[in-house]
């Protein structure tokens, strides 16, 4: 995938991998900026239900314009790949920071948590419930900004749910009691 051009984006390097696919750093050839491409795995792209979920993720995040939420630029398909184009956050995940540093000093933890809460409050006011807030979905930019990412299992007001009643999604260690009970 490295070096490949998808639409208007040249893939530069792999940033990570998740349940739906991989995330790459890419160069937007038109606007000359770095972006992140979340590319759905080809085998999953053939599943209409999973593609619907991927689209809901893009819609959920695109509805949100807040300094503490990763911005979505577009949802696209090129060269046989479906992908979300989003803001590239130059930094690290909260998960990696905790792994490296251990327990964070209280003032730093409060600063990070405060920004997470601001982003979540904004999303809820717009009818979007993330449903998978965990350290690996929180990005800390080098300039200190905190960004919430990965709205893959978000519930969006006005969009029919893709999760069956009684089923659970997300990370059990970070799930609400309602999610664990399948409500």
Q: What separation in angstroms does the CA of 87 have from each of 28, 45, 69?
A: 11, 22, 10
Q: How far is CA 29 from the centre of its chain?
A: 23
- Measured CA to CA, the distance from residue 123 to residue 133 in angstroms comes to 12
For the annotated catalytic residues, the residue numbers are: 132
Distance CA 107, CA 84 (A): 34
Give the tokens for residue 133.
């807030």
- Write out the DSSP string of 92-111: EEHHHHHHHH-SPPHHHHHH
Place of tokens 């530069």: 12
């Amino acid at each position: 995938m490295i070096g490949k051009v998808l639409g208007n984006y040249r893939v530069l390097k792999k940033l990570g991998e998740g349940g739906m696919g991989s995330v790459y750093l890419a160069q937007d050839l038109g606007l000359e900026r770095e972006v992140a491409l979340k590319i759905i795995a080809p085998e999953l792209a053939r599943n209409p239900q999973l593609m619907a979920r991927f689209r809901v993720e893009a819609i959920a995040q695109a509805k949100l314009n807040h300094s503490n939420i990763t911005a979505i630029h577009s949802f696209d398909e090129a060269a046989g790949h479906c992908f979300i184009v989003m803001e590239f956050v130059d930094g690290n995940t909260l998960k990696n920071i905790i792994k490296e540093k251990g327990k964070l000093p209280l003032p730093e933890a409060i600063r990070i948590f405060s920004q997470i809460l601001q982003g979540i409050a904004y999303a809820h006011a717009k009818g979007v419930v993330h449903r998978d807030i965990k350290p690996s979905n929180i990005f800390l930019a080098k300039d200190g900004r905190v960004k919430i990412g990965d709205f893959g299992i978000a519930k969006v007001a006005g969009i029919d749910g893709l999760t069956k009643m009684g089923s659970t999604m997300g990370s059990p260690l970070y799930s609400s009691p309602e999610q664990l009970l399948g409500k």
